[in-house]
Structure 1
Amino acid sequence: MINTKTLEDLLSNTGDMCLKRRAREIVVSLSPQKNETVLDAGCGDGFYLHLLSKLCSARLVGLDDNPKALDLAKSYVKSKKLKLVEGSVMNMPFEDDIFDKIICSEVLEHLPDDVGGLREFKRVLKKGGVLTITVPSHNYPFLWDPVSFILEKVFGTHIKDGFWAGVWNQHIRLYTPEGLIQTVKKSGLKVEEVKVLTHYGLPFNHFLLNLGYRIRKSKTLPGSVTKSLSKFSSDNGGNRDLYHLFLKAVNFIDRLNDREFNLDTSTVGISLVAIKQRA
């Protein structure tokens, strides 16, 4: 059982409300047990592994094809039960049927063959094992990314990458709930639950996050300030500085998302839980 208070404390410095809700959904839906092995496929900087390392004693494995991302994960996640592996999610360097639970968060939209990727997840997942997926929604709210919304609706196009790409940045596709369900079914996995996440947000939210990321990575800020802005930090350090005022505003708006939306509601993300059937 996940300690929800500890989880909220760990997420307290996360300014990206979509990531925060996504992380909460992933951790709670998996609820790893002591003797289980959990894979984060496409782990990036290891944020989900960081959360799990603080919340459970399961064995953790992070896979990514970017060695720099793995170096970041190694620096952020302090756990003796963590193993980091370089490799592709399309051809994972693991035996069949070895993981109890798998995280596939914001990965499928980058794969030319998403069904093939899901079949690879199925291969390494134990029978009865759980796969939790999150993807960006094609039915995103206008205010979340007005630039992409207008380009798509009026001109039938979008910006593929860069600052103004917004929700489409480096993504081959976005998903609808039904489209994701059908994709998962084609892989042979059984769909257990589907949700849409984060309807309400700040106007131009994608661009605010991108700008904040660029400022934090520019190395123009003092090290102590940069650390205080990190999602890996749960030290609120007082409530008077500008960033924590921003967090308060974000959390105030995000409370409106504390509900289960109909699947046809415009949201930023979609989450899906699937299992590998025993028979």
Structure 2
Amino acid sequence: MALQSSQHLKSKTMPKIIDLQKTIYNSSNPTRKRLHQSRFGWVLKKIYKYSDIKKSAVEYGPGSGIYLNYLDKCNEVTFAVDIEEIYLDNIKKNISSYKNLHLLVDDIQNSKIVDRKFDLILCSEVIEHISNPSAAINNLFRSLNDGGIVILTTPQKFSILELCSKVALSPIIIDITRKIYKEPIEELGHISLLTSNSLHKIILESGFEVLEQKKLGLYLPLIAELGFDKFIVEIEKLLSHVHITWPLWTQCYVLRKS
């Protein structure tokens, strides 16, 4: 099972969460690894497609910072913004390896930096962790220059993985889940999951134009734990082909401020 941490856990848990975020992309379980790697691959392609070495980029909620190196290389100046300073402190340890990276503390729901305009914004796996996704998306719009791009990903509310996680990551079951995976496992911390229709409505009401959208990431309980990921991949292809995408975990968007 693919597992991600909350952006708003207590500071004492942060080192554990940072380690978890590094683990999930190289999991020994094929499905867990694929679910995160497929999202990573999709986001990376969009960073390369929409970045400009003469422009500015920002990532809200960078977590362990897996995208920052690519944003830094592809844009003139890059910002990493998070409400939790411990994430930024972790990134700061290696800041000398970046071309032109700046770290800012800010709350995406009540942003104080909306007047600092950007050309590209990455917001991946963030809005499900906050209480007001609508306010966050409105602030993303306000933070963009005209013609600017947002790369946005978030889980689907009724995806199979999210539904199964309510059981597998419950306080009673989570220790069993950890024993099965033999890897770091934490509760997801998803407090504001959205359906595709709900998110699309917020996006349009905020003023964005949708340039691209995609759903990806199928999880099938037991089959995933037994390691039969190739079978799951084929089922995902079939579901996508017939446009049955609600079971897929992640909804991905490229948005433009017209």
Equivalent residue number for residue 11 of structure 2: none
Q: Secondary structure at the match of 2:93?
A: helix
Instruction: Choose which of 36, 43, 47 in structure 2 pairs with 1:30.
Output: 47
Shift of 1:202: 7.0
CA-to-aligned-CA distance 1:73-115 (integer Å, 9 cap, x gap)? 2235620211111121123343536211101111111222211
**Alpha carbons of 1:177 and 1:71: their partners in 2 closer, same or farther (altered >3 Å)?**
same
Q: 2:114, 2:229 → 1: CA distance?
A: 42
Q: Secondary structure at the match of 2:109?
A: coil
Q: 2:38, 2:252 → 1: CA distance?
A: 10
Matched, 1:264 2:245: yes
Q: 2:163, 2:75 → 1: CA distance?
A: 39
8 Å CA contact 2:78, 2:101 repeated in 1: yes
Shift of 1:167: 9.9
Shift of 1:175: 2.0
Matched, 1:14 2:26: yes
Shift of 1:36: 1.7
Q: 1:149, 1:49 → 2: CA distance?
A: 33
CA-to-aligned-CA distance 1:104-156 (integer Å, 9 cap, x gap)? 111111222211111111111111111111111123226x7635279xxxxxx
**Alpha carbons of 1:100 and 1:252: their partners in 2 closer, same or farther (altered >3 Å)?**
same
Equivalent residue number for residue 201 of structure 2: 182
8 Å CA contact 2:132, 2:192 repeated in 1: no
Q: 1:43, 1:163 → 2: CA distance?
A: 26
TM-score by length of 1: 0.64
Q: Secondary structure at the match of 2:141?
A: helix
Equivalent residue pairs, number: 216
8 Å CA contact 1:17, 1:254 repeated in 2: no
Equivalent residue number for residue 108 of structure 2: 89
In structure 1, give the amino acid aligned to 2:247.
Answer: S
Q: CA RMSD in A?
A: 3.7
Equivalent residue number for residue 91 of structure 2: 73
Q: 1:76, 1:254 → 2: CA distance?
A: 37
8 Å CA contact 2:218, 2:233 repeated in 1: no
Q: 1:254, 1:33 → 2: CA distance?
A: 36
Q: 2:46, 2:239 → 1: CA distance?
A: 15
Q: 1:35, 1:253 → 2: CA distance?
A: 44
Structure 2: gaps (5+ residues) = 1-24, 28-32, 178-184
Q: Secondary structure at the match of 1:47?
A: coil
Matched, 1:59 2:77: yes
Structure 1: gaps (5+ residues) = 1-12, 151-157, 209-248
In structure 2, give the amino acid aligned to 1:17.
Answer: R
Equivalent residue number for residue 199 of structure 1: 218
8 Å CA contact 1:41, 1:89 repeated in 2: yes
8 Å CA contact 2:137, 2:206 repeated in 1: yes
Instruction: Choose which of 111, 114, 117 in structure 2 pairs with 1:98.
Output: 117
8 Å CA contact 2:110, 2:135 repeated in 1: no
8 Å CA contact 2:217, 2:248 repeated in 1: yes
Shift of 1:51: 3.8
**Alpha carbons of 1:90 and 1:204: their partners in 2 closer, same or farther (altered >3 Å)?**
farther
